[in-house]
């Protein structure tokens, strides 16, 4: 299937590794011009070099902390100025640290808000200035917005706000021809999920392998997903092949989430 991504101008936040890098890689391979950002200069420039070498794509890296006020606005404004606009934007950020509510303090709530929810709000506001009819914005959250987890309380609260934002913007931006969708990764094999597995193992006093096996037993397909599998779903929702899809939430989780809605 031709996704119609060739020549599109795409911006992917937090793309030095993990799911963000996977999406940038998929878009670059489909013919997009891709702008990526990350907090660490070495990592984001290394990611850009890898994408150029593997995909032969135009890739523009930038050092951006999405939790810093004004940082993503400046990044998207600069990228759009160089390309005379944007077609696709992926709002992405790292997740808050794990922990139960009793383990958190106001400073933790504020940090989680800036990293996860406020960054999504700013990316959306900045993206809207540059997206036109046919454009698309994609948010990413996590299974906690469908099935809360007691040890991921900060993530659940902030990501649920992002999910609500995605649904609201889909309605608000539809008259302008801009689509907004929401993608939920299940347990995809990334550094973030490996860290969560390690945290679970420590809390339960078991080995990391045993913790992972316990999670795999809860997944109907019996395994963790790959970054590539998740990225293909993202590319589809961003593409012209999904031109009649907006306001949708897609689980990429091997069947792990049992919620009906």
Q: Output the domain CATH number for residue 54.
A: 3.40.50.720
**Rounded CA Rg of the chain:** 18
pLDDT value for 196:
87
CB 193 within 8 A of CB 225: no
**2 lies in a domain?**
no
**258 lies in a domain?**
no
**260 lies in a domain?**
no
To 10 degrees, what angle do helices 119-128 and 71-83 make?
Answer: 30
Residues 119 and 240 in one domain: yes
- Tens-digit pLDDT profile for residues 213-252: 999 999 999 999 999 999 999 999 999 999 999 999 999 9
Contacts of 115 (CB under 8 A, 6+ apart): 66, 67, 93, 94, 95, 96, 158
- Tens-digit pLDDT profile for residues 90-107: 999 988 999 999 999 999
β-sheet bridge partners, residue 62 = 37
pTM of this prediction exceeds 0.85 = yes
Residues 81 and 97 in one domain: yes
Residues 104 and 37 in one domain: yes
- Tens-digit pLDDT profile for residues 104-163: 999 999 999 999 999 999 999 999 999 999 999 999 999 999 989 999 999 999 999 999
- Give the domain extent around 132: 9-186+228-248
């Amino acid at each position: 299937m031709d996704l119609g991504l060739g020549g599109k101008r795409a911006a992917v936040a937090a793309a030095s590794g993990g799911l963000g890098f996977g999406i940038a890689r998929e878009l670059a391979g489909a013919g997009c011009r891709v702008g990526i950002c990350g907090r660490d200069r070495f990592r984001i420039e290394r990611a850009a070099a890898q994408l150029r070498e593997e995909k032969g794509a135009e890739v523009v890296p930038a050092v951006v902390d999405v939790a810093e006020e004004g940082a993503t606005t400046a990044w998207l404004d600069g990228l759009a100025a160089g390309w005379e606009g944007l077609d696709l934007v992926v709002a992405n950020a790292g997740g808050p640290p794990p922990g139960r509510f009793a383990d958190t303090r106001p400073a933790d709530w504020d940090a989680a808000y800036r990293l996860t929810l406020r960054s999504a709000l700013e990316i959306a506001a900045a993206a809207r200035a540059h997206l036109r009819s046919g454009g698309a914005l994609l948010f990413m959250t996590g299974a906690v917005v469908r099935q809360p987890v007691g040890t991921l309380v900060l993530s659940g609260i902030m990501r649920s706000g992002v999910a609500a934002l995605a649904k609201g913007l889909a309605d608000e931006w539809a008259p302008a021809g801009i689509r907004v969708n929401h993608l939920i990764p299940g347990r995809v094999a990334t550094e973030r999920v490996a860290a969560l597995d390690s945290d679970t193992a420590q809390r339960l006093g078991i080995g990391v392998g045993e913790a992972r096996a316990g999670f795999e037993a809860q997944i109907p397909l019996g395994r963790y997903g790959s970054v590539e599998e998740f990225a293909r779903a993202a590319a589809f929702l961003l593409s012209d092949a999904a031109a009649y899809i907006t306001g949708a939430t897609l689980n990429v989780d091997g069947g792990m989430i049992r919620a009906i809605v």
